[in-house]
């Protein structure tokens, strides 16, 4: 975002009155207003909610727009925000211009409104709710699919050519496309990484993990199928540096992703495969 941008922003205060200001950093100002350091007016009317913003090329343009906006009756102000109309020539910003410089989970995926935390009775977890459209921002583990491709009792693993876990052995698989069935995703990922065509046999198990190696990544829902190769030619490609077949007693030690150790242990110890809550040492 251009750091020369100035914003006219509008807040709704806790007593339902409106407040406007100009700034280069709307979210910093919002934080200040909501910690009592923004303005004397808002410090007695917390919490405030960001309800509108318009971007200008310089401070004086934003200030002129503010002066013009302030002269409007309250109903006209709210109408302008509700209809997302321009002010002094600048189109309404649905938060997207502001959101670009912020962590995305601070904003509603649908309307760009700022998210706030709520604790509802009857809900065991606090939720984030959009301060503009009221939609609850549920967080879910991202679905991934992979395959335990087995031939002659050995398992196909790929050595990662990319971070995270560069150089570690991994089960072929990856993130699903938005409308993709996990079985189709597993077939696609194996084809992309290994060149092999596979036939899924059955669901092997589902494992929740975090992406990356620092325990701060997104949660992933990892869905694995048992599969056998039915065509193609094994050749590392895409995100794989190498391929190899491993017998249960010769599995590598450098394994990518925490849950994959459990998957491999479950595979190696056959009968306990995919049992939730089962502890097994790999
Ligand atoms: Zn929203």
Structural domains of the chain sorted by starting position, each given as residue range(s) with its CATH number in brackets: 6-102 (3.40.1440), 142-272 (3.90.79.10)
**Could you tell me the distance, in angstroms and rounded to a whole number, from the CA of residue 219 to the centre of ligand 1?**
23
pLDDT of 60 > 80? The answer is yes
- Report d(CA 13, CA 204) in Å as an integer: 53
Is the model more confident about 109 or about 149? Answer: 149
In this prediction, residue 259 carries a pLDDT of 92
Going edge to edge, which strands form the sheet with 18-23?
18-23, 6-12, 49-56
**Could you tell me the distance, in angstroms and rounded to a whole number, from the CA of residue 61 to the centre of ligand 1?**
28
| Least confident piece of the model among 103-107, 176-180, 201-205 | 103-107
> Do residues 256 and 165 lie in contact, with contact meaning Cβ atoms separated by under 8 Å?
yes
Question: Which residue in 1, 119, 5, 108 sits closest to 49, CA to CA?
Answer: 108
Q: How many CB atoms lie within 10 A of CB 61?
A: 18
In this prediction, residue 214 carries a pLDDT of 56
pLDDT in tens, 145-169: 999 999 999 999 999 988 888 889 9
The structure's pTM equals 0.59
**Could you tell me the distance, in angstroms and rounded to a whole number, from the CA of residue 142 to the centre of ligand 1?**
21
Q: What is the CA radius of gyration of the chain?
A: 26
**Could you tell me the distance, in angstroms and rounded to a whole number, from the CA of residue 108 to the centre of ligand 1?**
5
**Could you tell me the distance, in angstroms and rounded to a whole number, from the CA of residue 106 to the centre of ligand 1?**
11
Banded model confidence at residue 3, pLDDT cuts 50, 70, 90: low
pLDDT of 14 > 80? The answer is yes
**Could you tell me the distance, in angstroms and rounded to a whole number, from the CA of residue 114 to the centre of ligand 1?**
7
**Could you tell me the distance, in angstroms and rounded to a whole number, from the CA of residue 115 to the centre of ligand 1?**
8
* Average pLDDT of the segment spanning 109-134: 83
Banded model confidence at residue 213, pLDDT cuts 50, 70, 90: low
Query: Left if phi > 0, otherwise alpha if psi is -120 to 50, otherwise beta: which for 212?
Result: left
pLDDT of 268 > 90? The answer is yes
**Could you tell me the distance, in angstroms and rounded to a whole number, from the CA of residue 111 to the centre of ligand 1?**
4
**Could you tell me the distance, in angstroms and rounded to a whole number, from the CA of residue 135 to the centre of ligand 1?**
6
């Amino acid at each position: 975002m251009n750091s020369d941008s100035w914003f006219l922003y509008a807040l709704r205060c806790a007593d339902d009155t409106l407040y406007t200001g100009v700034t280069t950093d709307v979210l910093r100002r919002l934080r200040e207003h909501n910690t009592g350091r923004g303005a004397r007016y808002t410090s007695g009317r917390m919490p405030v909610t960001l309800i509108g913003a318009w971007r200008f090329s310089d401070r004086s343009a934003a200030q002129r727009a503010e002066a013009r906006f302030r002269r409007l009756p309250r109903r006209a102000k709210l109408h302008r925000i509700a209809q997302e109309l321009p002010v002094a020539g600048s189109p309404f910003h649905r938060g997207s211009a502001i959101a670009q410089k912020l962590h995305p989970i601070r904003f509603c995926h649908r309307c760009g409104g700022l998210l706030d935390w709520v604790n509802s009775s009857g809900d065991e977890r606090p939720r984030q709710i959009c301060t503009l459209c009221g939609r609850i921002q549920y967080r879910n583990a991202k679905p991934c699919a992979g395959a335990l491709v087995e031939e002659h009792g050995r398992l196909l693993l790929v050595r990662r050519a990319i971070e995270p876990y560069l150089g570690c052995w991994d089960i072929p698989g990856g993130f699903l496309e938005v409308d993709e069935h996990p079985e189709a995703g597993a077939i696609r990922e194996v084809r992309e990484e290994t060149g092999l065509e596979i036939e899924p046999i059955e669901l092997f198990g589902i494992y929740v993990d975090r992406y990356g190696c620092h325990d701060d990544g997104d949660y992933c829902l990892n869905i694995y199928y048992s599969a056998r190769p039915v065509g193609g030619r094994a050749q590392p490609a895409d995100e794989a540096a190498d391929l190899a077949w491993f017998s249960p007693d010769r599995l590598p030690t450098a394994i990518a992703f925490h849950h994959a150790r459990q998957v491999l242990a479950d595979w190696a110890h056959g009968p306990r495969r995919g049992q939730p809550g089962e502890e097994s040492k790999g």
